[in-house]
Chains A and B, each alone.
Chain A
Amino acid sequence: MSETNEPTSGLSRRKLIGAAGIGALAVGAGAGGGYAVGRQSDEPTAGVPDPDAEPIPFEGVHQAGIVTPAQDRLYFVALDMTSEERADLISLLKDWTEAARQMTQGNDVGTFGAVSGSPFAPPEDTGEALGLPPSGLTVTVGFGRSLFVDAKGKPRFGLDGKLPAKLKELPAFSGDQLDPAISDGDLAIQACANDPQVAVHAVRNLVRIAFGRASVRYSQMGFGRTSSTSSAQVTARNMLGFKDGTANIKVEDKKDVQDFVWVPKEDGPDWLVGGSYLVSRKINMRIEIWDREPLEGQENIIGRAKGSGGPLSGGDEFAKIDFKKKNDRGAPVIDMKSHVRLAHPDFNKGAKLLRRGYNFVDGSDGLGQLSAGLFFIAYQRDPEKQFVQVQRSLAGSQNDLLNEYIVHVSSGLFACPPGVGRKGYWGEGLFA
């Protein structure tokens, strides 16, 4: 071991693996040590050499992964229950909560983790995150409508009366080409981290824990967060090359977060108070066609300058948009059918969304074109008044100019329960 004196703040997986045959590792932190830090505290700790070393607290009033700063990577997975037993659903949610509690704090799953258990037993933890820091991992779960009722509307898992009124099937939108195989699902897990390996490790272990109770319906990897959820983050770009999420709800806008993200007591149901609704849409982009569009055309479609992100009516990225401004020919500077206008709260009864989407590239399509786009994720208090309102404005060939270049191929709506404390589990209120 030559590296023992290495004065490093980095993380060496090799060091650990080389250490000992039946080696050692960090596992199972008793109930997330980071709780004391508290999610409400925005004060960074002094002397931290690597921001990824500091875990995001798991416990809290709300689930992490919604208003916490958007990480760089996503692994999203939807599952269907393979068991119809209420006890299996409860035990699954308990097991998932415990495993997420461990993994988000940078620990292995289980008592013995990846390499300290019996040599004759498969390791409790799959091991690919050994030696990696927590990397900002958050794990967020949501419940689909099909978890509450079957296709005939009959309650499942004894959840009579628990289905939130707002957890309706999303309406069909003009231009949708949805594939049911990659839409909906009983349960959704959004794992985000700054290291894709850490996000994959989280999902892989949760899926493994679920065998016999739930199985994967579809999954999606994403990169390059396309939205910032904090004003401390710069606005990232989507696959169209434009800044995306400039006008997103930011955690600092306390009033917006309260008005548009969390389910309040008056909305109910009780078990969902402090939770949020997640809408997912896989949006394929006709990348190559878009790339042939002149700059002026691209900017006109979006309504913003490609470089600065500022609105075409003038000013920097965060300048107020002047939709009334006319050019010298008397036409609006910001096209009436531009994306920014049709999606804007001013034209959607004030509706705002907390967007948390990611870019994706699923290889290529066999014709030499990228299978790429945006895995759109948005959180909201009321899907009908928020996502559905905005999407109705955008959808259809007569509306958003961008529709010529994009197509929605999947859709999901999930009710994400509130956060858990030191002892609780996700969705506990459903079974009270």
Chain B
Amino acid sequence: MKPLATLSVLTIAALSLTACADDPKPSGGLTVSATDSTCDVSQTDLKAGPSTFKVTNKGSKVTEFYVYAEGDRIMGEVENVGPGLTRNLVVDLPKGTYEGACKPGMVGDGIRQKITVTGEAAKKLSDSEELKAAATSYERYVNSQTVALIAKTEEFVTAVKDGDVAEAKKLYPIARTYWERIEPVAEKFGDLDPLTDGREADAKAEKRDFTGWHRIEKQLWVDDNTEGMATYADDLLVNVKKIVALGKDAPLTALELAQGSKGLLDEVATSKITGEEDEFSHTDLWDFKANIEGSQAAIAALRPVLVKQDPALVKELDARFKALDDDLDQYQDDNGDWTFYDKLTKEQVKRLSDLVAAVSEPISRVAAVVAESA
């Protein structure tokens, strides 16, 4: 469970695409030549979107360059441009009229020049056909996982209620695998996620009963029994089913999907690498692998879009996912069981952490590519 990721997935859908999708590169070749008494902007009719002003100080005093909107509202500034120096200023300007101002000596109102910006205003993001196809493809994946999730959770719940500790311990990481693969779906429903996947410390802090997967995990591994777990087990199944049903009614958009692929890796980096997810059972590597698989599934659904928009990014993702998978493989035995996390050495954890960071960097750029193809 991770409140932060939930927040970012939810808020991102509400954002509009303010960077102009047609022209993501800044208007190039804009120069500002500043002296102690002049301020020449090479071009004063600009297209809406980001523009780069290359400010060169040819005077003898330290200067500044500002772009002002009406009422001297600062849209952008570059300060402390010493004599002979060049500094760049990138400003994202919507349609309107502005003033560019050099301030030799860094004082006064400056030497001003009018700048006019025309063209498209910010676009509202809506999914293209390709993106819709990606979302649909991921929906199929989610459906396949939820069927197994419910089935395995039912088996787990039954074992817990039967008092079969060994069987419950065996099923715990397996049922969770399906949960962890589609965690972005669960995280959409803020109030249910803490009930099912919350940790003891958080429950205590929020003054609520400690419930869900980890409550039962604690009983199984710390007390080695299932006493008092029947209600928790029943509630767990009810909530898992609720989340699955809610998820079906509100499938993820392509952008949420892109965010989710990153969110799953953030999960790995923040709670799996540290070994705090399954603090009693140490079955973190099951969850670890499942998060990675879920992230890969999201990227697979987006693949046609990504290949078209940014093939280099896809290549990088493929290579780095492979490196991570190759390293992870050594911890899985022939029965499909994973090494308990507390058995890993510090060096092994560092290596995994490096590999996760290596995928996380390129994956953090996926959402922007998806947004641009809308």
Chain A: CB-nearest residue to B59: A47
The reply to whether A7 and B365 form a contact with Cβ atoms under 8 Å apart is: no
Question: Contact at A119–B15, with CB atoms within 8 Å?
Answer: yes
B358 to A, closest residue via Cβ: A212
User: Shortest beta-carbon distance, B167 to chain A, in Å?
Assistant: 40
The smallest C-beta distance from B252 to any residue of chain A, in angstroms, reads: 15
Provide the residues of chain A in CB contact with B360, threshold 8 Å: 211
Q: Known interface pairs A19-B75, A24-B90, A49-B62. Does A120 touch B367 (Cβ–Cβ under 8 Å)?
A: yes
A118–B19 contact, CB under 8 A?
yes
Residue picked from A48, A55, A116, most chain B C-beta under 10 Å: A116
Q: Evaluate contact between A24 and B87: CB separation under 8 angstroms.
A: no
Given contacts A24-B89, A45-B83, A122-B364, contact A1 B72 (CB under 8 A): yes
**Interface positions of A from 1 to 31, Cβ below 8 Å from B:** 1, 4-5, 7-9, 11, 15-16, 19-20, 22-30
Stretch from A104-112, A139-147, A271-279 at the B interface = A104-112
What are the residues of chain A within 8 A of B17 when measuring CB–CB?
119-120
Contact B365 A121, beta carbon cutoff 8 Å: yes
Q: Is the CB of B361 within 8 A of A7?
A: no
Residues of B within 8 A of A53 (CB): 62, 79-80, 82
Within 8 A of B (CB), among A129-183: 131, 133-134
Cα–Cα, bound, A30→B354 (Å): 32
Q: Is the CB of B368 within 8 A of A131?
A: no
Q: Which chain A residue shows the least CB distance to B355?
A: A82
Contacts of A222 in B (CB 8 A): none
- The answer to whether A23 touches B80 (Cβ under 8 A) is no
Given A117-B19, A118-B371, A212-B357, also A23-B76 (CB < 8 A): yes
Instruction: Kindly provide the distance from the CB of A114 to the nearest chain B CB, expressed in whole angstroms.
Output: 10
Residues 217-262 of B contacting A (Cβ, < 8 Å): 255
Contact (Cβ within 8 A) A46 B60: yes
The size class of the interface chain B forms with chain A is: 35 or more
Is the CB of A37 closer than 8 A to any CB of chain B? Answer: yes
Of B104-112, B147-155, B175-183, B198-206, the segment with at least 4 beta carbons within 8 Å of chain A is B104-112
Say whether A253 faces chain B, with CB atoms less than 8 Å apart.
no
Give chain A residues whose Cβ lies under 8 Å from the Cβ of B361: 208, 211-212
Contact yes or no, A212 B320, CB < 8 A: yes
Q: Which residues of A contact B61 (CB under 8 A)?
A: 47
The secondary structure that dominates the A interface is loop
Residues 72-113 of B, flagged 1 when their CB comes within 8 A of A and 0 if not, give: 111111111011111111111000000000000111110000
A30 and B88 contact, CB distance less than 8 A: yes
B1-40 CB mask vs A (1 if < 8 Å, else 0) is 0000000000010010111000011100000000000000
B131 within 8 A of A: no
Decide if B67 is an interface residue (CB 8 Å cutoff).
yes
Q: Which of A42-91 contact B (CB under 8 A)?
A: 45-50, 53-55, 82
Closest to B372 in A: A118
For B357, the chain A residues whose CB sits under 8 A away are 211-212, 215
B67 and A211: CB pair below 8 A? no
A11–B80 Cα gap in the complex (Å)? Answer: 8
- Give the distance to chain B from A182, nearest Cβ to Cβ, in Å: 14
| A119→B85 contact, CB < 8 A | no
CB neighbours of B91 from chain A (8 A): 23-24, 116
Taking a contact as CB atoms under 8 Å apart, the answer to whether A47 and B56 are in contact is no
B50 at the interface (CB under 8 A from A): yes
**Is B85 a contact of A55 with CB atoms below 8 Å?**
yes
Asked if B289 CB lies within 8 Å of chain A CBs, one says: no
Interchain nearest-CB distance for A158 vs B (Å): 19
Output the nearest chain B residue to A22 by Cβ-Cβ distance: B92
Q: Pick the contact of A28: B79, B88, B359, B371 (CB < 8 A).
A: B88
The answer to whether A24 and B76 touch across the interface, beta carbons within 8 angstroms, is yes
Q: Knowing A22-B18, A25-B90, A34-B84, say if A5 contacts B109 (CB, 8 Å).
A: yes
Residue contact A26 to B89, C-beta cutoff 8 Å: yes
Residues on A with C-beta less than 8 A from B78 are 25-26
> In the docked arrangement, what's the CA distance between A114 and B34, Å?
25
Q: How far is the CA of A25 from the CA of B106 in the complex (A)?
A: 17
Q: What CA separation (Å) do A107 and B86 show in the bound complex?
A: 10
With A48-B82, A116-B90, A116-B91 as contacts: A121 and B72 at CB distance below 8 Å: no
Q: Of all chain B residues, which has the CB nearest A31? A: B86
Q: Which residues of B contact A15 (CB under 8 A)?
A: 74, 77
A131 / chain B contacts, CB cutoff of 8 Å? 79
A113 proximal to B (CB < 8 A): yes
Whether a CB of chain A sits under 8 angstroms from the CB of B370 is yes
The answer to whether the Cβ of B54 comes within 8 Å of any Cβ in the partner chain is: yes
Taking a contact as CB atoms under 8 Å apart, the answer to whether B75 and A33 are in contact is no
**B85 → chain A closest CB, angstroms:** 4
Q: Does A232 contact B (CB under 8 A)?
A: no
- Tell me whether A26 and B367 are in contact (CB under 8 A): no
**Docked pose: A4 CA to B360 CA in angstroms:** 40
* Shortest Cβ gap from A327 to chain B (Å): 54
Decide: A48 near B62, CB < 8 A? Known: A11-B80, A22-B18. yes
Other-chain contact of A120, B88, B105, B371 (Cβ < 8 Å): B371
Task: Give the distance in Å from the alpha carbon of A11 to the alpha carbon of B12 in the complex.
Answer: 33
Q: Which of B325-374 contact A (CB under 8 A)?
A: 350-351, 353-355, 357-362, 364-365, 367-368, 370-372
CA–CA, A328 and B362, complex, Å: 73
CA distance A35 to B24 in the complex (A): 30
Complex CA–CA separation, A112 to B67 (angstroms):
17
Partner of A29, one of B68, B88, B107: B88
What's the nearest-Cβ distance from chain B to residue A82, in Å?
Answer: 5
Interface: A36 (CB within 8 A):
yes
Q: Of all chain B residues, which has the CB nearest A45? A: B83
Q: What B residues does A133 contact at CB under 8 A?
A: 79-80
Nearest CB in chain A to that of B320: its residue: A212
Interface centre among A25, A82, A119 (most CB of B within 10 A): A119
Nearest CB of B to A429, in Å: 28
Q: Assess the A118–B88 pair: CB atoms within 8 A.
A: no
Contacts of B365 in A (CB 8 A): 121-122
**In the assembled complex, which residues on chain A have CB atoms less than 8 Å from the CB atom of B320?**
212
Query: Are B60 and A116 in contact, with the CB atoms below 8 A?
Result: no
Name the distance in Å between B371's Cβ and chain A's nearest Cβ: 4
Can you spell out 16 A-B residue pairs with CB atoms less than 8 angstroms apart?
A19-B73, A24-B90, A24-B91, A26-B79, A26-B88, A26-B89, A47-B105, A82-B355, A119-B19, A120-B12, A120-B17, A120-B372, A121-B368, A212-B316, A212-B357, A212-B358
